[in-house]
């Protein structure tokens, strides 16, 4: 065998190795994209239910405070019914979100929000009692109730923003990075 044939064989072997490595890299990238897309779909579904629940919590807040404004409750759902709807939405999202690192904090924050709502309910009850008694402490109680209501609303908006950010991070394209040695690594761009 001649030296040129040996060089040609070595070259052909090297090209086949590169082709195989390239094929493996593409398969790895396809797998990562498929898994990312499935994960993203699960998170999107979970966050959608959670955001629906958070929006329902805003309605709960309004329904809780309605009696303090002297607004009639004609044909409007009670805050308890609205809270039950919100909790049902959250229960639908809970399992899927708890399985994801980016989803678990969202569920914990929702639980904290419902605790704040219970405290807020006590504040609303205090305002109603003070209204009936025409108490001089009524303005302070109303201010406390409104401040807490604003804090809860701000928390709801922040939690929705965090869900949007979590999805944006996962929506980033997966890249192929070539190292200085010519090795290919796959990974998220963010």
More confident residue, 8 or 72: 8
Question: What integer pLDDT is reported at residue 172 of this predicted model?
Answer: 78
More confident residue, 148 or 188: 148
CATH 1.20.120 assigned to 3-188 = yes
Cα 27 from Cα 47, distance rounded (Å): 30
Sequence ranges of the domains in the chain: 3-188
Global pTM exceeds 0.85: no
pLDDT level of residue 190 (50, 70, 90 thresholds)? very low
Strand runs (DSSP E) across 96-178, as ranges? 174-178
Residue 78, pLDDT > 90, answer no
102 by DSSP, 3-state: which? coil
Question: What integer pLDDT is reported at residue 148 of this predicted model?
Answer: 93
57: left (phi over 0), alpha (psi -120 to 50) or beta: alpha
């Amino acid at each position: 065998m001649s030296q040129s044939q040996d060089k040609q064989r070595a070259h052909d072997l090297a090209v086949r190795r590169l082709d195989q490595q390239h094929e493996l890299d593409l398969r790895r990238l396809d797998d990562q994209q498929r898994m990312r897309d499935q994960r993203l779909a699960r998170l999107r579904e979970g966050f959608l239910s959670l955001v629906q629940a958070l929006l329902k919590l805003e309605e709960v807040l309004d329904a809780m405070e309605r009696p303090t404004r002297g607004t009639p409750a004609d044909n409007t759902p009670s805050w308890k019914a609205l809270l039950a709807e919100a909790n049902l939405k959250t229960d639908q999202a809970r399992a899927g979100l708890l399985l994801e690192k980016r989803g678990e904090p969202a569920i914990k924050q929702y639980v904290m929000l419902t605790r704040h709502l219970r405290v807020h309910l006590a504040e609303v009850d205090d305002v109603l009692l003070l209204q009936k008694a025409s108490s001089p402490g009524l303005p302070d109680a109303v201010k406390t109730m409104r401040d807490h209501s604003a804090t809860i609303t701000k928390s709801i908006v922040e939690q929705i923003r965090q869900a949007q950010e979590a999805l944006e991070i996962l929506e980033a394209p997966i890249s192929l990075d070539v190292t200085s040695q010519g090795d290919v690594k796959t990974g998220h761009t963010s």
